[in-house]
Structure 1
Amino acid sequence: MSDTSRATDARRAMPQSLIALRNICVFLARTPTSAFGLIVLGVLIFTAIFAPLIATHDPYVQDLQNTLAPPDAAHFFGTDELGRDIFSRLVHGSRITLTIISLVTVVVGPIGLFMGTVAGYFGGRVDTVLMRITDIFLSFPSLILSLAFVAALGPSLNNAIIAISLTAWPPIARLARAETMTFRKADYIAAARLQGASPARIIWKSIVPMCLPSVMIRLTLNMATVILTAAGLGFLGLGAQPPMPEWGAMIATGRRYMIDSWWLVTFPGLAILSVSLAFNLLGDGLRDALDPKQMMKR
């Protein structure tokens, strides 16, 4: 048997979901902007997992005899006003950023998907009530609403994650509702009703899988906003509290010395910029990869 035949048989034996995932990954890897997003995201995950091995110093240990030292061989990104190594604090801060991203995604995705699919499928009063609740959250800028929630709950990292989650789900709900309204009158939905399927089963088995690609793209694009909101809360002292090495809080403490010690705000700012840009580029790539026209070409 030739190598081409073996490859063909192997592809046929693979589940369709794995084939689709492989095609998406290949598409993203071949697109320069999406590949950049994947690389940065991979570096973020790798750094967060192996932070104790990558960091050259303890991020919390102070060295008052070596404060505001410029970047050198001993301290790659210099030291802060308390003599702490900025590179090590950035490395450990990647864990905080990844924690925020993961928890917000886990909370926002299901809430937005549930609200949107239920409102879009049932319509009528259910749609009106759920969408008016969504409109109330959408009527306020996300950062301002997050500030209000954190001010009510108290400044901490956990409360910042809760506040961001409470303000990030409405766009997902709107998107899921729009997608559901295009599917609910489809023939396969009518066939499922005729077979006696309950609304919950129809929503879960037939509508949610159709909404997932668009929701995944929206979640990826929203991650940049989540990172910037978390950094903004940390900058204002309402997110992660000292001495935690959160990137926004690092910029807040370093801004007092930024005229003479530029490295205090430059490197945390570049970290926030790189990760936010990576998620935006990755979201754009996913949108193109999940485009039906692109999938037909592949």
Structure 2
Amino acid sequence: MSSEPTAAPAPKQPFLTREARSPREAILQRLGIGALTFLGNRLAMVGLAIIVLLVVLAIFAPLIATHDPNLQNLRGARLPPSATNFFGTDEYGRDIFSRIVHGARITLYIVGLVTVTVGPIGLIVGAISGYFGGFVDTIVMRITDLFLAFPSLILTLAFVAVLGPGLEQAVLAIALTGWPAMARLARAETLTIRSTDYIAAAKLQGASSWHIIFHSVIPMCLPSVIVRLTLNMAGIILTAAGLGFLGLGAQPPTPEWGAMTSTGRAYMLDSWWMVTFPGLAIMIVSLAFNLFGDGLRDVLDPKSN
């Protein structure tokens, strides 16, 4: 009695460990798992809503503002909040609400320009330093330590003193003091990533060091750097406002929130609105970026559950 040959069982798919997955697959899986976590974080959603509102104010500032932000009316100077002037007027009769709305553009300009400057520089420098190690790592990290040895605000003031007051000079000074922290973070991530299995596989396939850095290492460092950049945005806003408060940032009559707070402090006893509303704008936006950054960390942090 003959029996039909049984079919061979299908081979099982190999289990891909976290180290064996490609960088793109790991990032996509992390994003998919963390998206629901972010949506369930109410504080993060509040921060995101405030940031979206800030962007809307910046884009449609001419339509939202009720007055010309630089139009002076000495007869209407230092008027309290009313139906005509929602946040009152300053010492030159300029509408504070309109100046705050237009100041959203200045804030986003500073945050955006510093972020797109600091992020790539710190990420590339840290990845190169961590991957090659040795002499390259020693030289790069000693330069980084030199920047980190000074308080960031003091070092920023020193750069502004050399470059001169102005909005662009303030942005450059903040960027020069912001990249070392990003480089340190990227280096720490790279030291872990360079020993993974897919990096070893890429080397066996003949991939060059630069190809591995830009196609395998940097994509894996990117989530942590994005989280750190988001959390640093609040610090960027506060630093820019501090420079404006000291007269080293945006110059009059630019409607910058820190400069508005500085000019209003001379009248804060009898014209409280001149300091209160620009200060609230700085506080609310800084808090929003912190809340958004905390929620984003839950999504992108490789050490989160």
The verdict on a shared fold, with TM-score over 0.5 as the criterion, is yes
Aligned partner (choices 46, 50, 55) of residue 36 of structure 1 = 46
Please report how far the alpha carbon of residue 20 of structure 1 lies from its aligned counterpart in structure 2 after TM superposition. Answer: 6.3
Please report how far the alpha carbon of residue 28 of structure 1 lies from its aligned counterpart in structure 2 after TM superposition. Answer: 2.4
2:120 partner letter: P
1:207 partner letter: V
> Match for residue 217 of structure 2?
207
Please report how far the alpha carbon of residue 196 of structure 1 lies from its aligned counterpart in structure 2 after TM superposition. Answer: 1.2
> Match for residue 52 of structure 1?
62
> Match for residue 187 of structure 2?
177
> Match for residue 161 of structure 1?
171
Following the alignment from structure 1 to structure 2, what is the Cα–Cα distance between the partners of residues 125 and 18? 35
Please report how far the alpha carbon of residue 30 of structure 1 lies from its aligned counterpart in structure 2 after TM superposition. Answer: 2.1
Following the alignment from structure 2 to structure 1, what is the Cα–Cα distance between the partners of residues 113 and 163? 18
Aligned in 2, Cα 1:294/1:114: closer, same or farther, shift over 3 Å? Answer: closer
Residue 37 of structure 2 is aligned to residue 27 of structure 1: yes
Please report how far the alpha carbon of residue 288 of structure 1 lies from its aligned counterpart in structure 2 after TM superposition. Answer: 1.0
Unaligned 5+ runs, structure 2:
1-23
Aligned in 2, Cα 1:19/1:60: closer, same or farther, shift over 3 Å? Answer: farther
> Match for residue 73 of structure 2?
63
Following the alignment from structure 1 to structure 2, what is the Cα–Cα distance between the partners of residues 25 and 74? 43
Following the alignment from structure 1 to structure 2, what is the Cα–Cα distance between the partners of residues 72 and 56? 12
Residue 227 of structure 2 is aligned to residue 217 of structure 1: yes
Please report how far the alpha carbon of residue 29 of structure 1 lies from its aligned counterpart in structure 2 after TM superposition. Answer: 2.9
Following the alignment from structure 2 to structure 1, what is the Cα–Cα distance between the partners of residues 134 and 178? 25
Aligned in 2, Cα 1:200/1:259: closer, same or farther, shift over 3 Å? Answer: same
> Match for residue 108 of structure 1?
118
Aligned partner (choices 150, 171, 180) of residue 140 of structure 1 = 150
> Match for residue 129 of structure 1?
139
1:150 partner letter: V
Structure index of larger Rg: 2
Following the alignment from structure 1 to structure 2, what is the Cα–Cα distance between the partners of residues 250 and 272? 11
Provide Cα deviations, 1:213-262, integer angstroms capped at 9, x if missing partner: 10000000000110000000000000000000000000000000001111
Residue 89 of structure 2 is aligned to residue 89 of structure 1: no
Percentage identity across aligned positions?
Answer: 66
Q: Secondary structure at the match of 2:81?
A: coil
Q: What TM-score comes out, normalization by structure 1 length?
A: 0.91
Instruction: Considering Cα pairs closer than 8 Å and 6+ residues apart, tell me whether 1 or 2 has the greater RCO.
Output: 2
Aligned in 2, Cα 1:84/1:23: closer, same or farther, shift over 3 Å? Answer: farther
More helix by share: 1
Q: Secondary structure at the match of 1:125?
A: helix
Please report how far the alpha carbon of residue 22 of structure 1 lies from its aligned counterpart in structure 2 after TM superposition. Answer: 6.7
Q: Secondary structure at the match of 2:248?
A: coil
> Match for residue 234 of structure 1?
244
Following the alignment from structure 1 to structure 2, what is the Cα–Cα distance between the partners of residues 294 and 126? 31
Contact in 1 for aligned 2:240/2:258 (Cα 8 Å): yes
CA RMSD of aligned residues (A): 1.7
Q: Secondary structure at the match of 1:243?
A: coil
> Match for residue 83 of structure 2?
73
Aligned in 2, Cα 1:71/1:111: closer, same or farther, shift over 3 Å? Answer: same
1:209 partner letter: P
